[in-house]
Structure 1
Amino acid sequence: MSKKTKAICLNNFSSTATLANNEVSVPLGSQDTLNEKDYDPYEHRNVLHPNTYFGALVHLLKCSLGAGILAIPRAFKASGLAVGVIGTIFIGILCTYTIHILMVASLKMCKLTKKPALDFSETIFEIVKHGPKGCRKYARSAKIFVESGLLLSYYVGGIGSIFPLEKTMIKPQFLGCFGVLNVTMTLITIMYLCMGFFGYLAFGEVTEATITKNLPVEEVVAQVAKWCISLAVFFTFMLMFYVPIDITWRKISGHISEKRHNLSQFSLRTGIVIFATCIAIFAGEHLGPLIELVGAIFLSTLGLMVPAIMDTLINWDNLGCFYWKFWKNLVISIFGLFGAVAGSYYAILSMVNEES
């Protein structure tokens, strides 16, 4: 007696399979879903010098703590102690959350595309490419926008360094309750709180735009502190350099002979350093407001609006009860837009006031 063989195709198939004669049913799902669950990006990462939990934490801390922390006491002066404390905690939580949803989306795209790691712009490209049909044609434009934003704002925030750091980890320790991201952002928020609170408490209404200007010139300890800050900014500048160099080099390396790669990289790095230095020289007293302007536009966009929009696209078919994910991301986007507009306005106003 011949046996009949039944073949079940899993592609785009969602039904049940009959096991024996007792009608036990199991969901099959689609082939893409099964493959996505089976693929673990961390198992496919070939990193020559992988980062440990502590190493990634320290690197992220160094990249995120820039010279901007020195201006926090001035922000507390403008807002007051109570609003400053609450606002700092709120912004810290919000930024942590938006980075978290962006990293979750990146890992999901890694599983979907079977790639061990994706950087910021690649993540955006894949999300838009696999998003709603009406958005897919804008995938490359979205990638270019993010890359341009990272190039322009690499020195005023550490968001561009998060993806390169996560790519160097071969264990899933970046996210989670006590993951690298949460612990680092908690420490950063505490440092910003302490600097803002005690800085304003010490100098009150005479708090300068940068707290170092309030330090007494005649005291040795104050001068040592200024030297330490200068050295910290100097070395942080080199760390931040990774992002623009990586983006630029990937764009031009294919057009350069391999035997000239070393010389070309050296020339590229030297050229960008000279370019950044020239901007600082010609900006003069406007350098602070200029950095604030770039930060207000691109950090509000890349740090708040882009993650919120991407979270909406990646969950387009599952926005939750009453579309709560959509409304939540809309509120975050509006908040980011408000920050960009308000920050730009006050940065430009500061430039105008310095001229007059």
Structure 2
Amino acid sequence: MTETVALTGIGPPENGIKEQKSKSYNVNLMSEEIVALQGTNGTPPYDPHAHRVLEHPTTNGETLIHLIKGSLGTGILAMPSAFNNSGLLIGSVGTILIGILCTYCLHVLVRSQYILCKRRREPILSYPDSMKYALQDGPQFLKFLVPFSAIIVDGFLIVYQLGICCVYIMFIGNSLKQVVNVYLPESNQISERYYMLMILIPLVCIMLIRNLKLLAPFSQLANIITFIGLGIVLIYVFTDLPPISSRPLIGEPRTYTLFIGTTLFALEAVGVFLALENNMRTPASFGGVLNIGMTIVTLMYVFMGFFGYVKYGSAAEGSITLNLPAEAWLAQTVKLIFAVAIFITYALQAYVPVEILWNTYMKQRIENVNKQKMEYLLRIGVVLVTFVLAVAIPLLDLFISLFGALCLSVLGIAFPALIEICVLWSSKNFGPYNYVLVKDILLIVIGIIAMVLGTYISVIDIYRKIN
């Protein structure tokens, strides 16, 4: 679901050589907050954007392309399955509302980070550091969380990224199974677990590549073939498309949380979007780029989910590619195309938890040991953990919903609202009738409810399917 730029989403970009100048982000602060952030003793106010050091900054157009490309992965392929849990009407309206909610919460997070950067005179703050510094400025009763805040945010980021890697392994295994089993007699056909085992060594090999520049050409190849694959999928979707009236407009209320989890997994990529903002030549323009990009992505997801569900109905799989006819050579080509693309992207997704674990928690604490060997062991360990989870419970659609509900409802909705409350707490500038405070509390409640209910129902459904 993401690409190379996502790797810097956990912190500032790597040290570069060129200082970038830009106008301040339009944060629409209250007047007292603006005064508090002005310079003292006649000095100009600190502008974090003007002090960013980037080696290869991206233009607005490049950022928009990265945003769209980074959103076209297993998430969009899972949208017909999401609509199966919601119905056509609820799915369409719900996807748009979730897209608006995710976009708004990203604006809240970037605005709050900008204020924190001005206060602390830092050009960029990572997500974990933003949470820590925000809590330091927040209500007294929340300050006990300060020592644990960065670990909590890192924990959700790690779990989410490992979840994506599990989904990727399942996806590749299922795709290879559908292609290869066509050419085997029924008595010799094997389950997707064996195909996952077959790709274990290749996954370890690609994870041992520490230089991301070596992976960049493969990442571009993955992007190209992904677009080709999506085009072929749509050909199958619109061939002999059933009437829209053949599918229900409203699904079972119990499965709405599965829809929400899958849609969050597909749409929400807070690490990617923060990375894009961090790497822009003109970060002041990020808000407009985000709005355009998320509008395009959300409409694409509605389109794929709507017509994919009309085509396949309740038979919609966790990835629409698994619904394509097994015997058709073009369908087999699509499955192999996406399997290759996802295999390449696995290394980029797994890079994020490796970076967090190694640079934040291991590198400085390891002494009298070959650090390079230890990093290689960590990389192998990440592959083995995701492999074991994927093989143990190979339920693609439920895993997508589980990790969307468990992590993204918190990272993408609840945490940004909490950070904004804490950032504005000292000045109490919550607007007329404290509407900002009320709004953020509501977002926190929504995020927590989505996490608890979505995780509970996903776990229950996983338990039922494996027993």
**Range into which the TM-score falls when normalised by the shorter chain:** 0.7 to 0.9
C-alpha distance in 2 between matches for 1:126 and 1:266? 33
Whichever residue aligns with residue 358 of structure 2, its letter is W
- Aligned partner of 1:224 in structure 2 is 333
Whichever residue aligns with residue 38 of structure 1, its letter is P
C-alpha distance in 2 between matches for 1:32 and 1:57? 30
- Aligned partner of 2:362 in structure 1 is 252
- Aligned partner of 2:114 in structure 1 is 107
Residue 260 of structure 1: how far off its partner (Å): 4.7
Q: Share of identical aligned residues, percent? A: 34
Whether 1:39 and 2:150 are equivalent positions in the alignment is no
Q: 1:271 to 1:63 in 2, by over 3 A?
A: farther
Q: 1:332 to 1:234 in 2, by over 3 A?
A: same
Residue 233 of structure 1: how far off its partner (Å): 1.8
In the alignment, structure 2 segments of 5+ residues that lack a partner are 1-31, 165-264
For normalisation by structure 2, the TM-score amounts to 0.64
C-alpha distance in 2 between matches for 1:31 and 1:200? 52
Which of these residues, 374, 381, 389, is aligned with residue 271 of structure 1? 381
- Aligned partner of 2:55 in structure 1 is 48
Whichever residue aligns with residue 335 of structure 1, its letter is I
- Aligned partner of 1:96 in structure 2 is 103
Residue 328 of structure 1: how far off its partner (Å): 1.1
Residue 30 of structure 1: how far off its partner (Å): 6.6
C-alpha distance in 2 between matches for 1:150 and 1:325? 26
In the alignment, structure 1 segments of 5+ residues that lack a partner are 1-26
- Aligned partner of 2:291 in structure 1 is 182
- Structure 1 or 2, whichever has the larger Rg, is 1
Q: 1:85 to 1:308 in 2, by over 3 A?
A: same
C-alpha distance in 2 between matches for 1:261 and 1:217? 47
Residue pair 1:147, 1:247 contacting (<8 A) in 2 also? yes
Query: What is the SS of the residue equivalent to 2:286?
Result: coil
C-alpha distance in 2 between matches for 1:137 and 1:241? 31
C-alpha distance in 1 between matches for 2:36 and 2:110? 24
Which of these residues, 332, 352, 355, is aligned with residue 463 of structure 2? 352
Cα deviation 1:12-54 (Å, max 9, x = unaligned): xxxxxxxxxxxxxxx9x97754259711222222222223333
Whichever residue aligns with residue 382 of structure 2, its letter is I
C-alpha distance in 2 between matches for 1:173 and 1:266? 39
Q: 1:37 to 1:134 in 2, by over 3 A?
A: farther
Which of these residues, 184, 188, 197, is aligned with residue 306 of structure 2? 197
- Aligned partner of 2:442 in structure 1 is 331
- Residues 1-356 of structure 1 mapped to structure 2, 5 A cutoff: 33-34=38-39, 38-154=45-161, 155=164, 158-173=269-284, 175-177=286-288, 179=289, 181-250=290-359, 251-256=361-366, 260-283=370-393, 285-286=394-395, 288-316=397-425, 317-356=428-467
After TM superposition, the structure 1 stretch with the greater mean CA deviation from structure 2, 187-196 or 289-298, is 289-298
Cα deviation 1:261-317 (Å, max 9, x = unaligned): 54443333233223222221222x345424432321211111111111212222221
Q: 1:231 to 1:150 in 2, by over 3 A?
A: same
Give the alignment's Cα RMSD to 1 decimal.
Answer: 2.6
C-alpha distance in 2 between matches for 1:31 and 1:318? 12
Residue 93 of structure 1: how far off its partner (Å): 0.4
Higher RCO, Cα 8 Å, sep 6+? 2
